[in-house]
């Protein structure tokens, strides 16, 4: 088993919904022998599943990860390049005849194209093949930029398997070009984990997040459980877990 696969399995077990399913199954298993413990596990897992599935909680958790507002034109004017982090692929997509970008990567790429047109800054795209597939994410990002936006990225990094790799492998490409100050494009909830990794490589980072959270309760539907609400909560908890893991990794290095 590879280290990456082991990390992914551990992450899945610690995050909802699998972690809640495990807790609920444990409660059912112990129901006859340890009824008080069993009921505690069942109630906690059920309440957690409900709460984490509400759009309001999902937005609130994602809001807790944001490190600042949307990038302002004057801040972007001081950047020397735009770096776009891949967010995943759809493998063997039948309608595209092979691997393509998922919705998260497309959201980031669209915003990077907008910033490029506003500033004229060169673009670096980064992403490899962490889960197999035929084409690296960076290569697909370049294709989408060229064919759908008429923009050719200056640099393409195709080996990164994690956010840590994104920073480690992109920094030398930027250094060779004399680039030190970058606008880092990713989701607003991802910047808290991503920005310090690029700063650790000696780069000055201007956070350029997209998809900011509202974290407000506008109607009764915000407190009703939905698949989208659970997805948002899972993304946020994954980020907090990743931040903790990277801090432990840095201390052990």
Q: How far is C-alpha 103 from the chain's CA centre?
A: 12
pTM of the model as a whole: 0.93
pLDDT at 249: 84
**Which of 90, 107, 88, 83 shows the shortest CA–CA distance to 177?**
83
Q: Are residues 177 and 82 in the same domain?
A: yes
Sign, Cα dihedral of 205, 244, 17, 216: negative
| H helix and E strand count, the chain | 10, 7
**Which of 218, 200, 250, 234 shows the shortest CA–CA distance to 53?**
234
pLDDT at 1: 54
Write out the residue range of the structural domain in which residue 22 sits.
3-64+226-252
Q: Are residues 81 and 59 in the same domain?
A: no
pLDDT averages per 10-residue partition of the chain, 253 residues: 75 92 95 94 97 97 97 95 97 95 98 98 97 94 98 98 97 98 98 98 98 87 95 97 91 75
Q: Are residues 245 and 121 in the same domain?
A: no
Question: Per DSSP, what are the bridge partners of residue 119?
Answer: none
The CATH number of whichever domain residue 135 belongs to comes to: 3.40.50.620
Q: Is 75 exposed, middle or buried (0-12, 13-18, 19+ CB in 10 A)?
A: middle
Q: Are residues 33 and 147 in the same domain?
A: no
């Amino acid at each position: 088993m590879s280290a990456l696969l082991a990390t992914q399995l551990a992450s899945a077990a610690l995050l909802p919904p699998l972690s809640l399913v495990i807790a609920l199954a444990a409660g059912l298993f112990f129901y006859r022998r340890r009824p008080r413990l069993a009921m505690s596990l069942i109630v906690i897992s059920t309440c957690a599943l409900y709460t984490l599935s509400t759009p309001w909680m999902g937005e609130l958790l994602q809001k807790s990860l944001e490190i600042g507002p949307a990038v302002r034109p004057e801040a972007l004017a001081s950047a020397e390049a735009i770096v776009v982090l891949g967010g995943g692929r759809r493998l063997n997509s039948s309608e595209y005849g092979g691997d393509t970008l998922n919705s998260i990567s497309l959201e980031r790429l669209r915003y990077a194209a907008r910033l490029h047109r506003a500033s004229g800054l060169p673009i670096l795209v980064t992403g490899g093949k962490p889960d197999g597939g035929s084409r690296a994410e960076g290569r697909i990002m370049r294709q989408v930029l060229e064919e759908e936006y008429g923009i050719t990225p200056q640099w393409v990094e195709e080996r990164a398997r994690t956010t840590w790799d994104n920073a480690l492998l992109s920094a030398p490409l930027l250094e060779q070009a004399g680039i030190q100050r970058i606008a880092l494009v990713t989701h607003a909830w991802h910047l808290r984990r991503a920005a310090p990794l690029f700063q650790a490589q000696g780069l000055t980072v201007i956070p350029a997040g997209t998809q900011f959270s509202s974290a407000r309760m506008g109607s009764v539907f915000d407190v009703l459980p939905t698949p989208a609400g659970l997805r948002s909560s899972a993304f946020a908890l994954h980020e907090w877990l990743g931040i903790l893991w990277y801090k432990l990794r840095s201390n052990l290095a």
